Amino acid sequence: MLKELIAKIQPLNKTAMAAAQERQNMLTKPAGSLGRLEELSIQIAGITGQAIPEIKDKVIITMAGDHGVVAEGVSAFPQEVTPQMVLNFLYEGAAINALAKHVGARITIVDMGVAAEMEAHPLLVNKKIAKGTANITKGAAMTPEQAEKAILAGVEVVEAEIAKGLDIVGTGDMGIGNTTPSAAIAAALTGSAPAKLAGRGTGVDDAGLQRKIDAIERALEINKPDPKDGLDVLAKVGGFEIAGLAGVILGAAAHRKPVMVDGFISTAAAMIAVAIAPAVRPYLISAHRSQESGHQQMIEWLGLNPLVDLDFRLGEGTGAALGISLAEAACKVLAEMATFAEAGVSDKE
């Protein structure tokens, strides 16, 4: 099923991009004067195959999972915060709820691997693979079968949203300790040292940061993930919510939908998606540059240029929400501005 999905991911539509560029050049402004908004509208035209794309149905998919590596003291918060925050999302008390409302996006909350039994809730999608991953300092995070199952679960989630009318998807995460597997993924794929990629996450002190670096180094040494095999990297040092988000990205790209990538954890998921299917890359939009120290290397590996830098390090999809607002603005400029001819404005000196 994964191979079939990957085969559906096509290059961007150059005809639509050329038409969008031509219209941008005719709008009542100096060519290129709206900078990244112009580039973004052209990219979205290529993704969707529509010369004048519309973004109306905006969805943020926030996936939650726990991590065995928290036993190594890599987080400033205890693991029970993960299910507590999932409940906070469901009862609309979190930052992502406020920002999603602000930009007119709906949120889909998914339990990919919370280490607790979550009570049924009409807004909670249950795709739990297991109650958290194994401790990556002692062996693989999950089996290859679990990794593929988690990816395909993510595909199912985004396809259900596409069936409801999704025009753009933002990625979000929740999982105490998940900056550690994210940094491990980045180290495995970039070859960079864990010390250059690991950040303070939830706000660990110097000793906590060193424990995190040590844990990543041990995980890479014990598991030896193959950087040429994205599924192997995911299974050995990843997380269930990271796998699910990789599936969301793959599924969205297969259906020609733009993906607004949030911060550190979402970018690790994007790296896994690209490692599995390089054709995904042009479907990605980096919403923001995270305060996490290793994020810049990760977005450089992906070849992306973040839309904003607001010193965010929260996750949840918060940066993606604001990025979606900019994507919508870019498409509205393309669609709603008058051309020189329409406005009766001279475009010649």
Looking at the fold, whether 199 and 107 belong to one and the same domain comes out as: yes
Residue at 281: amino acid letter: R
The CATH number of whichever domain residue 190 belongs to comes to 3.40.50.10210
Looking at the fold, whether 255 and 300 belong to one and the same domain comes out as: yes
Q: Where are the beta strands (DSSP E) in 166-280?
A: 168-174, 259-261
Query: Rounded CA gap, 243 and 149, in Å?
Result: 9
Looking at the fold, whether 26 and 103 belong to one and the same domain comes out as: no
- The total number of structural domains in the chain stands at 2
- The pTM for the full model equals 0.97
Q: Does the residue 213 lie in any domain? A: yes
Average pLDDT over residues 194-201: 95
Q: Does the residue 93 lie in any domain? A: yes
Looking at the fold, whether 85 and 221 belong to one and the same domain comes out as: yes
Count Cβ neighbours within 10 Å for each residue of 193-231 and write b for 16 or more, e otherwise: ebbebbbbbbebeeebbebbbbbbbbbbeebebeeeebb
Looking at the fold, whether 193 and 337 belong to one and the same domain comes out as: no
Task: Determine the pLDDT at residue 346.
Answer: 87
Looking up tokens 């475009």 gives 347
Looking at the fold, whether 324 and 273 belong to one and the same domain comes out as: yes
Q: Does the residue 83 lie in any domain? A: yes
Task: Determine the pLDDT at residue 348.
Answer: 67
**Residues for the chain: how many in total?**
349
- Write the pLDDT tens digit of every residue in 27-68: 999 999 999 999 999 999 999 999 999 999 999 999 999 999
Query: How far lies 123's CA from each of 78, 221, 222, 241, in Å?
Result: 25, 40, 39, 17
Domain that holds residue 246: 58-328
Q: Does the residue 348 lie in any domain? A: no
Q: Does the residue 349 lie in any domain? A: no
User: In 3D, which of 310, 195, 301 has the Cα closest to residue 262?
Assistant: 310
Q: Which strands sit side by side in the sheet containing 259-261, from one edge to the other?
A: 124-126, 105-113, 58-65, 168-174, 259-261, 284-286
Residue 341 CB: number of other CB atoms within 10 A? Answer: 10
Contacts of 11 (CB under 8 A, 6+ apart): 279, 282
Q: Verify whether residue 316 is a known catalytic residue.
A: yes
Q: Does the residue 99 lie in any domain? A: yes
Looking at the fold, whether 133 and 37 belong to one and the same domain comes out as: no
- Write the pLDDT tens digit of every residue in 275-307: 999 999 999 999 999 999 899 999 999 999 999
- Choice among 54, 316, 328, 342 that is catalytic: 316
Average pLDDT over residues 160-184: 98
Looking at the fold, whether 152 and 204 belong to one and the same domain comes out as: yes
- Write the pLDDT tens digit of every residue in 202-261: 889 999 999 999 999 999 999 999 999 999 999 999 999 999 999 999 999 999 999 999
Task: Determine the pLDDT at residue 349.
Answer: 53
Looking at the fold, whether 268 and 185 belong to one and the same domain comes out as: yes
Predicted confidence (pLDDT) at residue 264 exceeds the cutoff of 60:
yes
CB 300 within 8 A of CB 189: no
User: 281 is written with which tokens?
Assistant: 């890359």
User: 117 is written with which tokens?
Assistant: 């039994």
User: In 3D, which of 114, 228, 214 has the Cα closest to residue 173?
Assistant: 114
Q: Does the residue 95 lie in any domain? A: yes
Looking at the fold, whether 116 and 249 belong to one and the same domain comes out as: yes
The CATH number of whichever domain residue 18 belongs to comes to 1.10.1610.10
Q: Does the residue 219 lie in any domain? A: yes
Query: Rounded CA gap, 14 and 245, in Å?
Result: 27
Looking at the fold, whether 103 and 242 belong to one and the same domain comes out as: yes
Query: Rounded CA gap, 244 and 85, in Å?
Result: 18
> Please, what sign has the CA dihedral across residues 70, 72, 78, 80?
positive
Looking at the fold, whether 162 and 297 belong to one and the same domain comes out as: yes
Query: How far lies 118's CA from each of 69, 83, 137, in Å?
Result: 21, 7, 27
**SS3 letters for 1-29?**
CHHHHHHCCCCCCHHHHHHHHHHHHHECC
